Amino acid sequence: MRVLVVEDDVRLAAVLAQTIAEVGWQPTVEHDGLVAIDRLLGGEEPDVVLLDRMLPGLDGAGVLRRLRGAGVRVPVLMLTARGEVADRISGLDAGADDYLVKPFDLDELLARLRALHRRSIADADDEALEVRGLRLDPAARTVRRDGREIRLSTREFDILHLLLREAGRVVSRFRILDEVWDGETDLRSNVIDVHLATIRAKIDRPFGTDTIVTVRGAGYRVEVDR
C-alpha cells in the first residue's frame, strides 16, 4: 500500500514513515500542503493519504477542499491535535474519510489506514479488469482468457485481482501478504511462490503467454504490453 504522509512536524513525520515502512507499505512524506496538492494533481496515485489538520499556510481542511474540488478521490485519514466535535465535523465535511486525534496509538493508526484502503478496494470491486485477453470479473468472481473460463481458488483469485488492479506496476510480497492474507503468514514462507506458480500454470501455460513476471528483490508485475 502506498501512503502519502502530509505532516509539517518533521520528527512525527519520520516516525509515521518508519511505522508505515515497517509493515511493508511504501511511505512518501511531504511537509507542505501545497506541495502535496501539486503531487496529487500531477498524477501521483497513493492508496491512502495521511493528512495533518494544522499545516502552516493552507491547513489540512483547505488542502482537502482543493483536492476534492479537483476530483481527487483518494481516501484521506486526517490527523489533528484538536478533538472537539465541531473540528472533527468540519474536517469530515471538507472531504476526510476518517479522523484521528493526537496523541494516538500507532497500531490504531495502521488499522485505520488498512480499513480505508480496503473500503476503497471494495468500492472498485465491481469493475471488471482485462489485460491482454485475460478478463477478471470481481462481481461474478470469474476469470476468462480469450473467452475460456479459468477456475481459481479464493486465494488465487484475490492475488490475481490485486496484481491486475496494479497492472504495469510492481506489487511487493509485503503487500500481497497484507491484503490477501492480512499479514497472517510469515514472509519467509514460500506460500506466495506456490500460489503464483499455480496461477501461472492456469492463466498462462495453456495459452502460451507470460502475464505475471517476477521482479527480483521487489515483487511481481502484470505485463501490460508484450
Q: What is the mean pLDDT of residues 29-38?
A: 94
| CA gap 97, 74 in Å, rounded | 9
CB 212 within 8 A of CB 204: yes
Question: Which domains are present in the chain?
Answer: 2-123 (3.40.50.2300), 129-222 (1.10.10.10)
Among 11-15, 117-121, 217-221, the least confident range:
117-121
Q: What is the mean pLDDT of residues 145-160?
A: 90
What pTM was computed for the model?
0.62
Among 116-125, 168-177, 186-195, 214-223, the least confident range:
116-125
Grid cell 465491481 — which residue? Answer: 126
Question: Has residue 160 got a pLDDT over 60?
Answer: yes
pLDDT tens digit string along 182-207?
Answer: 655 555 668 888 899 999 999 999 99
Q: Which residues contact 226 (CB under 8 A, 6 or more apart)?
A: 132, 210
| CA gap 112, 191 in Å, rounded | 27
Question: Has residue 125 got a pLDDT over 80?
Answer: no
By percentage, how much of the chain surpasses pLDDT 90?
46
Q: What is the mean pLDDT of residues 70-86?
A: 83
In sign, the C-alpha dihedral spanning 20, 21, 23, 26 is: positive
